[in-house]
């Protein structure tokens, strides 16, 4: 029997076309049974409380990054508190998965050691992976905070609990808050693996949150957009 995945899609409320595309993709990949939408909206009391007492330390771009981080934490919270599934795919609304995702991901999971319960599916690599960190034909350790790309990743409830215990509270209560902390940093800190070759890429190229990263469209094109949906 196929694994039942909870899918949580993070979507900007003004971007209905992206959401429609994501719903179509979930049907294509037979992932539409358990889908929940997290609205990426930083104009609310929840977000204001999350950043209260630290907002003066952040510039406008960092505020947006923190808004994205909160969405990922909310996705994990939904998975823990509301979902009957044991495994979850968290997807931003520009994520595309390889066309035979279910079969390829099943092979990846077969090769996964038990240490970490998160797999980054769409790694954006500023440098080549260190083959000393290769743990199977399909996986590397997530050994560097220079590994970007949280547009699609897989987690279990054990990972989500660890992440929420450490980061699921207002930023002023963190022991190690920095305005530059991202979803990728969270994944690296809790512990994860990296799927390589990537099982996901990004459709829309929006680098306003990662101004140090250029050439993303060229990067994702190496995998062939025609091989993803």
The CATH number for 194's domain is 3.90.550
Q: Which residues of the chain have pLDDT under 50?
A: 207-212
Which distant-in-sequence residues (6+ apart) come within 8 Å of 180 by Cβ? 62, 65
Return all residues near 12 (Cβ < 8 A) that are at least 6 apart.
Answer: 18, 39, 40, 41, 93
Full domain range(s) for residue 62: 5-227
Helix (H) / strand (E) element for 154: namely strand 152-156
Q: Provide the domain count of the chain.
A: 1
Q: In a 10 Å sphere around its CB, with 0-12 CB exposed, 13-18 middle and 19+ buried, how is residue 175 labelled?
A: exposed
pLDDT at 209: 47
Q: What is the pLDDT of residue 204?
A: 66
Q: Please give the pLDDT value at position 141.
A: 94
For the chain, what is the mean pLDDT?
Answer: 92
Residue 118, strand partner residues: 155
Structure confidence at residue 214 (pLDDT) = 57
User: Euclidean distance between the first and final Cα of the chain, in Å?
Assistant: 23
Q: What is the 3-state secondary structure (H, E, C) of 63-128?
A: HHHHHHHHHHHHHHHHHHHHCCCCEEEEEECCEEEECCHHHHHHHHHHCCCCCCCEEECCCEECCC
C-alpha span between 118 and 106 (Å, rounded): 14
**What is the model's pLDDT at position 13?**
86
Q: What is the pLDDT of residues 50-81, one digit of tens each?
A: 999 999 999 999 999 999 999 999 999 999 99
The per-residue pLDDT for 126 is 84
């Amino acid at each position: 029997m196929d694994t039942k995945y909870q899918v949580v899609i993070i979507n900007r409320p003004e971007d209905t076309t992206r959401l429609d595309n994501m719903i179509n993709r979930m049907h294509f990949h037979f992932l539409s049974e358990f889908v929940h939408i997290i609205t990426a909206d930083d104009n609310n009391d929840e977000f204001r409380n999350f950043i209260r007492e630290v907002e003066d330390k952040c510039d406008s771009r960092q505020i947006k990054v923190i808004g994205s981080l909160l969405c990922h934490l909310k996705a994990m919270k939904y998975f823990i508190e509301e979902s009957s599934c044991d495994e979850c795919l968290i997807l931003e609304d520009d994520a595309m998965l390889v066309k035979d995702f279910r079969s390829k991901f099943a092979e990846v999971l077969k090769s996964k050691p038990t240490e970490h319960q998160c797999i980054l599916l769409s790694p954006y690599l500023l440098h080549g992976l260190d083959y000393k960190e290769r743990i199977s034909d399909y996986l590397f350790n997530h050994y560097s905070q220079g590994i970007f790309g949280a547009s699609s990743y897989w987690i279990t409830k054990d990972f989500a609990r660890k992440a929420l215990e450490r980061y699921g509270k207002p930023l002023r209560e963190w022991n190690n808050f920095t305005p530059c902390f991202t979803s990728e940093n969270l994944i690296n800190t809790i512990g994860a693996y990296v799927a390589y070759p990537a099982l996901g890429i990004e459709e829309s190229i929006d680098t306003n949150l990662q101004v140090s990263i250029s050439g993303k469209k060229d990067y994702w094109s190496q995998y062939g957009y025609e091989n993803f949906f």
